[in-house]
Amino acid sequence: AQSVAQPEDQVNVAEGNPLTVKCTYSVSGNPYLFWYVQYPNRGLQFLLKYITGDNLVKGSYGFEAEFNKSQTSFHLKKPSALVSDSALYFCAVRDWNSGNTPLVFGKGTRLSVIA
Amino acid sequence: DAGVIQSPRHEVTEMGQEVTLRCKPISGHNSLFWYRQTMMRGLELLIYFNNNVPIDDSGMPEDRFSAKMPNASFSTLKIQPSEPRDSAVYFCASSDSGTGFLQPQHFGDGTRLSIL
């Protein structure tokens, strides 16, 4: 079985400060991990993914995420938050050995960046 | 690329009516997903297709829901009869899963459905 948890429903950060949106996962094998962002009245947009290789993954809009196997985490980070980063963020996971099982999405974390 | 196209963007109808949501995936993508998003339940996978064949429909809530993919460029999600609790935003997504779901899903902008 595979699952993903986003422990925070809401994250507030001041503009210019670093931001972190947390994600932990559970898979029986090796994980494929994704981050998506959803702006109001839009569909989810892909930000970045981890498949294999470097633990630090860089993605769109200056976001990056760090894969930590020992802590089973894949936290999303950005060094300096912008007001325009305010949105709903989803972490998703898939076990590489799960056949036809597609991604499992977390419940989402709402990020508010305050000017 | 035009992206995933969903229609209509908004639908308001009365309880008991049939509702049909439409999706055109990105050309060349061979997997298609239907999701439902509500405040209470978050994002739920309803059904997905691979090469036009339904692979997993375990997320379809009831027999009132059905989905078809008659060809690689078109899919429908139908609710008959509709009920107020079906009110939600319905998303369609597509991906190129030829390498084992390594590629991201591309989402349409959704259909906001309101059942009165």
Query: How confident is the model over B46-105, as pLDDT tens digits?
Result: 999 999 999 989 999 889 999 999 999 999 999 999 999 999 999 999 998 765 677 889
Angstroms from B38 CA to nearest CA on chain A: 11
B81 and B16 Cβ atoms separated by less than 8 Å: yes
Q: What pLDDT, on the 0 to 100 scale, is given for residue B98?
A: 66
pLDDT value for A42: 95
pLDDT interval class at B1 (50, 70, 90): low
Longest dimension (CA), chain A: 45
Query: Which 3 state secondary structure label does DSSP give B101?
Result: coil
Q: Give the span between the Cα atoms of A62 and A60, in whole angstroms.
A: 6
pLDDT number for residue B44: 93
Instruction: Supply B58's token pair.
Output: 């375990």
Q: Is the pLDDT of residue A13 over 90?
A: yes
- Say yes or no to pLDDT of A63 above 80: yes
Report residue A85: phi and psi, to 5°: -80, -10
Q: Do B110 and A100 lie within an 8 Å CB cutoff?
A: no
Nearest residue, CB atoms, B104 vs list A43, A46, A101: A46
SS3 assignment for B11-63: EEECCCCCEEEEEECCCCCCEEEEEEEECCCEEEEEEEEECCEEEECCCCCCC
In this structure, what are the phi and psi dihedrals at residue B96, rounded to the nearest 5 degrees?
-95, 100
Predicted pLDDT of residue A102: 79
pLDDT tens for B3-36 read 999 999 999 999 999 999 999 999 999 999 999 9
**A99, closest residue in chain B (CA to CA):** B100
